[in-house]
Structure 1
Amino acid sequence: MEDKVIKIDSGIEIRQLYCDPIKMDEMPGVFPFTRGVHAAMYRDRLWTMRQYAGFSTAEESNKRYHFLLSQGVSGLSVAFDLPTQIGYDSDHAMSEGEVGKVGVAIDSLRDMEILFKDIKLADISTSMTINSTGFILLALYIALAKKQGADIKKISGTIQNDILKEYAARGTYIYPPTPSMRIITDIFEYCSKEVPKWNTISISGYHIREAGANAVQELAFTLANGKAYLQAAITKGLDINVFAQRLSFFFNAHNNIFEEVAKFRAARRMWANITKDLGATDPRAQMLRFHTQTGGSTLTAQQPENNIVRVALQGLSAVLGGTQSLHTNGYDEALSLPTERAAAIALRTQQILAYESGATDTVDPLAGSFYVEALTNEIEAAAWKLIEKIDGMGGAVKAIEHHFMQDEIARSAYAYNKAIEDKSKIIVGVNKFTAKENNDTPLLKIDDSIRQVQTDKLNKLRAERDNEKAKACLEAIRKTANGTDNLMPFVIDAVEHLCTLGEIADTLRDVWGEFKG
């Protein structure tokens, strides 16, 4: 009888039975870190439990943060609204209809103060999902930490700051690639000296996967982007053994547990070799540390309670794969921003994985599985082939400029959706096991009046600040952008003198222009 052909989304054919013993003499905590970046992994310390949150005004988001902290989160993760992401103040014409909708609106240091009211930045790790304007949000965070009396050399957290994936998959870019890369390396340089515990970039495969990439593409394109950041920093004269320690990654987790675990294991091994080849000798500069978020694009508006199971499976794959931090999505996210109840269930999912599943009892529990070891090797080999193609084009920036990554992602997205349409891929509740919907899931709604609230705040700020000083700060940023000095000290000075996010972004638009794609 002929074996049934089964292929995972990456295109790798899965055999009926795996019986080939694969040599497994690698150990966790040592090069190439396939089995984990720490020798004892979760036996010593659990992953950081984050819940991605931010909506409406800083006041409303602050309430959600206090709720999450009371429920046991060990790190905050901030979502920003679209105007904040692309460098417009809330009162700008381009912001209409978008203020506070997909994240919190942050226009100035005053908003940042409200966002973290009664939360000491010295005592919490914060992840900020922000890219084009990431340098401004980091400046605001540093300014607030200083205002709170914190030692900025001790504050910790992560800024996403990954612009290359914006050009390839997501689209919230502002400036052309070259000045955008300059901003990123300025952040690397500044933080390595002044904010040494801050993770200066979270190189994101998450959004690449959300745009339609498969697991192999997510892995290859993310590591290729990471390689480009390493090379840019080395060209700037930075020491890879110093700055590479503060790089982290951000991956997606979909429903196929074994494919995801194999991807995470392959990622660590590949990055260790990439950093070594570029001159890293310190093991801490060779480690791939990563945050995982469960797959938003896998969640369904149909039978939304099914998403609780999907999120649990995806979270389990991240834990079995050795993640350093985890966000689990709310079951209602295909319909709206998560309600408080959905966020609580998502957090409880992580806590059940940590304390009831047994997945944390031993390091790399699936190691030695004929299937998982073979799949790790196959995913790694397929990802190297893609990276070799990208290197042949001149690296990630050139590959993006030639639309190679974008075209590959589009092809995969088409194939995935076609498989759902022809039912060769089953999505429970969507193309099989359907049911009449009640449409009674509670939803979180964001009112458009928030824009007026933010506009009133901005008018008050501009009336009360020293406008001559603010103007001088913006002029200093303009002058620095035209030169080679590090931008970060000037941006921090500007936000401390109440220059707004939009004013700083517009100053650099005047110098560098906008990227049109």
Structure 2
Amino acid sequence: MDEIKDARDKWFAERNKKKDRDINFETVSGMPIQDLYTPEDIQNLGYMKDLGFPGNYPYTRGVQTNMYRGRLWTMRQFAGFATAEESNLRYKYLLEKGQTGLSVAFDMPTIMGYDSDHPRSLGEVGRVGVAIDSLEDMETLFNGIPLDKVSTSMTTNAPASILWCLYIATGEKQGVASEKLTGTIQNDILKEYIAQKSWIFPPEPSMRLITNIFEYAAKHVPKWNTVSISGYHIREAGSTAVQELAFTLADGFAYVEAGIEAGLSVDDFAPRLSFFFNSHIDFFEEIAKYRAARRIWARRMKEKYGAQNPKSWLLRFHTQTAGCSLTAQQPENNIVRTAYEALAAVLGGTQSLHTNSMDEVLALPTEKAVQIALRTQQILACETGVANTIDPLAGSYFIEALTNKMEEEAEKYFEEIERRGGVLAAIDQNFFQQEIADAAYHYQRSIDKRQRIQVGVNEFVDPNEELDIELLTIDPEIERRQVAKLQKLRRQRNNLLVGDTLDALRQAAQGTKNMIPYILECVRAYATEGEIIQTLREVFGEYKEKPTF
């Protein structure tokens, strides 16, 4: 090491005679980057302690022993718009084009727990996702799609328990037992309070619903991922990569602690926890983030929470390329951005991947744009050779030093969150929210000051640019049809049975029983999502965020 240090000093003496470009050499998150990395930067790295082998603790190099040589990542395009009928056709189109898993995007009324005919839903039905009001809609959404053969991810949080029960009941209608269902519900309410803001109930009853799902899934839906602990939305809100890493894992620790406090054994539910990360435009920073995340999670689960099952130590994650990195200017450039971000996710060891479409900064994607995004993944998998070996960047002085740095900085955040009393207390203090807001402000300022170049936005601008791509539009008639369908359902169903199931759910919510069986009975009776949410709202109330300035 002394010989390397001497040689490095001599090299620096010569290198410093050369003038660098007049920019800040740092990651997109603002982390300074050295001009050269050598063995000095990772001299304390222990191979077996800090890296190990793929599929072995601490999983820095991947969660499977053969990674993509055994099975490629799941290509799971996020899709949903208009009504269940239209989205069903899009799903069949994507499966026909080679997609290997479904990922459901819901509209804002569904996300917020309102039926399509609620006054607050006016003008929003089917706009940014598919409208799902009842079991009838969920049956239509998956009509002709066998749920025992397709893995489905559903991006829903506050009403996750209801959408999940709708999916289970749809499986029953198809003759598929819940034990055979595979997929994921996002169900990450903590990141809603921190970043995305689509909450309904206060934190305590929300956490109760989540632990109820843990318990029910362990017994009845054992192949289902019960939470997708999401850093994606934290990053989209403006966080740095380190903040995304730290806040996401802190949320994960909070769910583990909530499950243990509810009387569950950690190994009964932890193997079905999964994660959802953003892949932003800074290539190496993103790869280091994923590698650090696996190592941190494995060590905490084993050493702090006493998990005995190695599956509880695994950080399995889905990745989506960064929507916030896309630009409305020169939208075709987004194809290139997405390709680089997808490559980072794969080199970082993701288990599934969504690639954004070039037009998503302007509207929901067209079929052509979606096909290009899916083909991006297929080219990556089949033509580039990146799936031929496992963790090919391991041992890079830069990658290993950056992975260590990400872990160190995340640990500082864990200490601060603990000092503040934990995740729920830090949310109440607006700690996460303020950290993200500050990071977003500094990032935007760096673009405004041209300290950071965004092609087509503050450099390489085309003054004669005209938007020349087709955009998907949602016909307002869609909303009228959805409302009419919902009102017809209310007239034709057994409303006495609906009332009885809602009353039973109310009593369960007022007590300490697991609420999932009661929600299932409600959806089987064709109670609507809005009716179920309102029943729980009457018991739990609504969350109000404390303002901060």
Partner of 2:38: 19
| Letter of the structure 1 residue corresponding to residue 25 of structure 2 | I
Residue among 473, 479, 482 paired with 1:445: 473
* Greater radius of gyration (CA): 2
* Aligned position for 1:149: 175
Q: Distance in 2 between matches of 1:356 and 1:283?
A: 34
Query: After alignment, is 187-196 or 12-21 more displaced?
Result: 12-21
Q: How far does the alpha carbon of each residue in 1:168-227 deviate from its partner, in whole angstroms, 9 at most, with x for none?
A: 101100000000000000000000100000000000000000000010000000000000
Shift, 1:9, TM fit: 3.0
Q: How does 1:409-428 map to 2 (within 5 A)?
A: 409-428=436-455
Report if the CA contact (8 A) 1:162-1:204 is conserved: yes
User: Which among 39, 49, 61 is matched to residue 65 of structure 2?
Assistant: 39
**1:440, CA displacement in angstroms?**
1.4
Are the aligned partners of 1:212 and 1:410 in contact in 2 as well (CA < 8 Å)? yes
| Structure 1: distance between partners of 2:487 and 2:33 | 61
Distance 1:310 1:445 in 2: 24
Distance (whole Å) between structure 2 residues aligned to residue 134 and residue 241 of structure 1: 22
Residues 332-347 of structure 1 aligned to structure 2 (within 5 Å): 332-347=359-374
- Residues of 2 paired with 1:401 and 1:274: CA distance? 25
Is 1:9 aligned with 2:28?
A: yes
SS at match of 2:179: coil
2:144 aligned residue (115, 118, 133): 118
TM-score w.r.t. the length of structure 1 is 0.99
What do you get for the CA RMSD once the two structures are aligned? Answer: 1.0
Deviation at 1:391, TM superposition (A): 1.1
Residue in structure 2 matched with residue 84 of structure 1 by the alignment: 110
Could you tell me how far 1:459 is from its partner in structure 2? Answer: 1.2
Q: One-letter code of the match for 2:495?
A: N
**Partner Cα separation in structure 2 for residue 447 and residue 393 of structure 1:** 48
1:115-142, CA deviations, whole angstroms, 9 ceiling, x for partnerless residues?
0110011110000000000100000000
Counterpart CA distance in 1 for 2:289 and 2:69 is 22
Q: How does 1:282-293 map to 2 (within 5 A)?
A: 282-293=309-320
SS at match of 2:76: strand
Aligned counterpart, 1:372: 399
Compute the TM-score of the two structures, normalised by the length of structure 2. Answer: 0.93
Q: Is the 8 A contact 2:28 2:281 kept in 1?
A: no
Q: For residues 462-481 of structure 1, what are the structure 2 equivalents within 5 Å?
A: 462-481=490-509
The reply to whether residue 388 of structure 1 matches residue 409 of structure 2 is: no
SS at match of 1:250: strand
Say if 2:523 is the partner of 1:495.
yes
Shift, 1:449, TM fit? 2.2
Structure 2 residue identity aligned to 1:48: T
Q: Distance in 2 between matches of 1:432 and 1:334?
A: 19
For 2:395 and 2:543, how far apart are their aligned partners in 1?
Answer: 47
Code of the residue aligned with 1:290 in structure 2: it is F
2:294 to 264, 268, 273: 268
Letter in 2 for 1:214: T
Counterpart in 1 of 2:92? 66
Shift of 1:326: 0.2
In the alignment of these two chains, the number of paired residues is 517
Is the Cα contact below 8 Å between 1:79 and 1:103 reproduced in 2?
Answer: yes
Q: CA deviation at 1:20?
A: 1.9
| Letter of the structure 1 residue corresponding to residue 488 of structure 2 | K
CA contact (8 A) 1:30 1:283 kept: no
After TM superposition, the structure 1 = structure 2 runs for residues 430-441 of structure 1, keeping only pairs within 5 Å, are 430-435=457-462, 436-441=464-469
Whichever residue aligns with residue 104 of structure 1, its letter is V
> Is structure 2 residue 83 aligned with structure 1 residue 57?
yes
Contact 1:330 1:345 in 2 (8 A): yes
Counterparts in 2 of 1:6-405, with a 5 A limit?
6-20=25-39, 22=42, 23=45, 24-25=47-48, 26-276=52-302, 277-405=304-432
Please, which moves more after superposition, 451-460 or 31-40? 451-460
* Per-residue deviation, 1:293: 0.2
Task: Extract structure 1 runs of 4+ deviating beyond 4 A.
Answer: 2-5
Cα deviations across residues 375-422 of structure 1 (Å, max 9, x unaligned)? 000011001101110011111111111100000000000000000000
Task: Give, in whole Å, the separation in 2 of the partners of 1:468 and 1:279.
Answer: 48
**Deviation of residue 59 (structure 1)?**
0.4
- d(CA) in 2 for partners of 1:392, 1:154: 43
- How far off its partner does 1:453 sit? 0.9
Question: Alignment partner for residue 460 of structure 1, among 488, 497, 501?
Answer: 488
In structure 1, the residue corresponding to 2:77 is in which secondary structure?
strand
Contact residue 266 and residue 379 of structure 1 kept, 8 A: yes
CA distance in 2, matches of 1:506, 1:51: 32
Aligned counterparts of 2:142 and 2:177: Cα–Cα separation in 1: 17
SS at match of 2:180: coil
Q: Distance in 2 between matches of 1:498 and 1:151?
A: 19
Matched residues in 2 for 1:422 and 1:242: separation? 51
Deviation of 1:448 after TM superposition, in Å, equals 2.3
Distance (Å, rounded) in 1 between the aligned partners of 2:356 and 2:292: 24
User: Tell me, which stretches of 5 or more residues in structure 2 are unaligned?
Assistant: 1-15
C-alpha distance in 1 between matches for 2:32 and 2:310: 34
Amino acid at match of 2:489: L
What residue is the counterpart of 1:485 in the other structure? 513
Greater shift in the superposed pair: 387-396 or 169-178: 387-396
Residue 34 of structure 2 aligns to which amino acid in structure 1?
R
Distance (Å, rounded) in 2 between the aligned partners of 1:56 and 1:424: 41
- Maintained 8 Å contact 2:28/2:282: no
**Contact 1:134 1:159 (C-alpha < 8 Å) held by counterparts:** yes
Q: 1:454 is aligned with what amino acid?
A: Q
Residue identity matched to 1:284 = K
Return the alpha-carbon distance in structure 2 between the equivalents of residues 348 and 7 of structure 1: 31
Task: Give the corresponding residue for 2:10.
Answer: none
2-structure distance, mates of 1:450, 1:95: 13
Distance (Å, rounded) in 1 between the aligned partners of 2:138 and 2:28: 41
Q: How far is 1:77 from its partner?
A: 0.2
**Kept in 1: contact 2:288–2:402 (CA 8 A):** yes
Percent identity, aligned pairs only, is 58
The CA deviation at 1:10 is: 2.8
